[in-house]
Amino acid sequence: MMLADFHVHSTFSDGKLTIPAVVDLYGQRGFGAIAITDHVGESRTVIGKAAGHLGLCLTKATFPLYLEILKSEAERAWRLYRMVVIPGVELSKNSISNYRSAHIIALGIKKFMSADGDVADIARNIRNEGAISIAAHPVDSGKFEKQTYHLWNRRFELAQAFDAWEVASGDRLFPEVLNSSLPKIASSDLHIARHMTSWKTLLDCERHPEAILDSIKKQKLSFRFYRDSKNDNIHSDIHSGYGSLVESRSYRSSFGDYRQSLA
């Protein structure tokens, strides 16, 4: 049984932690797998070009270094923590209209992926590259931030195009996704250490990238709310020490109590 988080940002886009800092954050807490998923913006839109220029997105120029660091950090994460690090990106189509905006996560990438073109073509392209496609925060995130409704509005047409849809992002669980028949995944969309307190995915498979991606595709997973005592300002007065608590709130919790399996 392992805790996993498949939506994490670093300083290669708009995250505040470097990739090594992210690896240590999760590794020291006993996670079995994470994916680093920095933003790639559209190359032809003003918003996309501006984000690249400001360093808020990966570009073709920064991407080779990103992959190189991910490779060396994956080796370090395995050596130190027996944690798998999966290379990913979040292909980000940001429009003034929330209904034209969409964020798509690709996991298990081997080369630069473009955020240009229609979302159906992007999803197909991700699979053609042997990666898996995830619809990120497809409904109202409840946060004061850009909303991305495009994928959800086309969910019937796109149902087969994505390997999973985020049923939770950060501390928000999305009832619309939970009550749908779409394949699901829960991730933190971590940008700062405090975002560790969030919904995560639990897997019961070998600690190997292919086995992990296969579990997502076959939906052999469950979701747990993870509360991090060290970085949770609100609860730091209640829980002391470095460890973390996994709350009993869970969905499809056929795996029993995770706290016991940690012992």
- Rounded Cα gap, residues 194 and 214, in angstroms: 29
Part of the chain binding Zn ion (CB under 5 A), chosen from 24-32, 72-80, 167-175, 188-196: 188-196
46: number of CA atoms within 13 Å, CB side? 2
Return the residue nearest Zn ion (CB atom).
Answer: 103
Part of the chain binding Zn ion (CB under 5 A), chosen from 45-53, 86-94, 164-172, 217-225: 86-94
189 binds Zn ion (CB under 5 A): yes
Q: How far is the CB of 39 from Zn ion (least distance, A)?
A: 7
Binding positions for Zn ion, 153-172, rule CB under 5 A = none
Interface mask toward Zn ion for 111-150; x: CB under 5 A: -------------------------x--------------
Q: How far is the CB of 37 from Zn ion (least distance, A)?
A: 6
* Long-range pairs, 43-49, Cβ under 8 A, ≥24: 43/114, 43/115, 43/116, 44/116, 45/94, 45/95, 47/94, 47/95, 48/92, 48/93, 48/94, 48/115
- Rounded Cα gap, residues 114 and 143, in angstroms: 27
Distances (CA, A) of 207 to 73, 77, 81, 215, 252: 16, 12, 11, 11, 21
Q: How far is the CB of 259 from Zn ion (least distance, A)?
A: 28
Part of the chain binding Zn ion (CB under 5 A), chosen from 16-24, 101-109, 192-200, 210-218: 101-109
The one among 29, 93, 103, 200 contacting Zn ion by CB under 5 A: 103
Which residues form the interface with Zn ion (CB under 5 A)? 90, 103, 136, 189
